[in-house]
Each structure stands twice: as structure tokens, then as C-alpha cells.
Structure 1
Amino acid sequence: MFEEMDANVYALSSDSPEHHVELKEEMGFTFEFLSDPSMDVIEKADMKGQETSVRGYSVFDENGELITSEEDDYWGENINDTAEKINNALE
């Protein structure tokens, strides 16, 4: 679903790389997971909670500017809807 988009897709959280491997395998995702323990990129993506990252998705343009961001605890479970929203943001 993401392969057809003209975009680089990553999952990003403050969790450890080991946790990302487990989640990626459990959910069957094919995109890369990145760890941001300092939450610098997470903050730029407007996904920073009080002590950890929130769940959702963000879209940046090719210049690194934030296009859209949406908090969504079920982005993974509803991956087809998430992909559609991301695709719409890229248009």
C-alpha cells in the first residue's frame, strides 16, 4: 500500500529498537521503524506527549516541513485508512 506512494515511510517512536522489531513482526509491517529516544523528530512531527510519543502519523514534504499530523491510537490496526489519509495529504 505504501510502496505505490511517492514517499519514504517510517514508523517513529521513543521505544527501543528491540521493541520495534517485535512490533514490526507482530503487525507484519514492511516499512522501517526508527527510534527517537530524545524525541527531537517526534516533537517536530507534533507527536510528543508529556513523557513519551503519542500514536498517530505525520507527513513531511521533501524539505522536511510538516504537512499534517494526526494523533490516532489505532493507526496500525486501521492501516488501510491510515494509508489513504497519508496519500490524500501527499496530493
Structure 2
Amino acid sequence: MQLGKLQETVRELTEEGAAVLVISIDHPEDARRLAVDLSLTFPILSDPQMNVIRQYGMKGAGMEMADMGYVVIDRQGRIRERQIDRQFGEHVGTIVRALRQAKGPA
């Protein structure tokens, strides 16, 4: 499961200055239960009407579901990277590179 893979890399992401969170179409109680069951240290935000999911372009084409993937947003609120990626937990290196680019030169 990708959330478990994300949990394995959350420290690396936060060391790059990221705030890690997940947005789900699940209802709040289901999201809380999932976070507890998987021992997640980052929040799962509930968006059953998919308002935020749509705003960030993560709604599945032709279906009332969210696509899996990630969005990197810089400190000014600009989207720096958006990827539909069902295996996002496997590609933390790509996410870290996007975070570094969003931060700019050291």
C-alpha cells in the first residue's frame, strides 16, 4: 500500500522542509481509522465532496474518485509539481527533487 511506503519516507521528506499530508475521499472516521491501522505519523484529510482534490487537479478522469499521486506546493502556494502516480510511494526520489527545486538555490 502506498501510504505505508509514504510513511517509510516521511522523515526524508520532512528533512527537506515538506509538510506531508494525504487528502482522501474517505469520511473522517474512516480516514482516522486508516491512519491508526497503518501507524501513520502524517494526517489524512477528509474531502468526500472532492473540493480540494478538484482544485489540485487530482480527480480521476470520468469517475467520482481521486487519482493517486502527489502535489508539491511551494511556500508561496504555487504548485511546483503535480503527478498522477499510483506508485508514488516508490518514487520518493522524484518527490525530493521536486521539493529541492521548489526551495531554489541553497
TM-score (norm 1): 0.77
Q: How many residues align?
A: 87
Alignment pair present for 1:58 and 2:58: no
Tell me the amino acid that sits aligned with residue 29 of structure 1.
L
Tell me the amino acid that sits aligned with residue 34 of structure 2.
L
**1:9–1:26 Cα change, 3 Å:** same
Superposition RMSD in Å: 1.8
Tell me the amino acid that sits aligned with residue 62 of structure 1.
R
Identity of aligned residues (%): 34
SS state at 1:68 partner: strand
Which residues of structure 1 form unaligned runs of 5+? Answer: none
User: Larger Rg: 1 or 2?
Assistant: 2
Higher share in helix: 2
Tell me the amino acid that sits aligned with residue 4 of structure 1.
E
Higher share in strand: 1
TM-score (norm 2): 0.68
Which residues of structure 2 form unaligned runs of 5+? Answer: 1-10, 101-106
Q: Which residue in 2 is equivalent to 1:87? A: 96
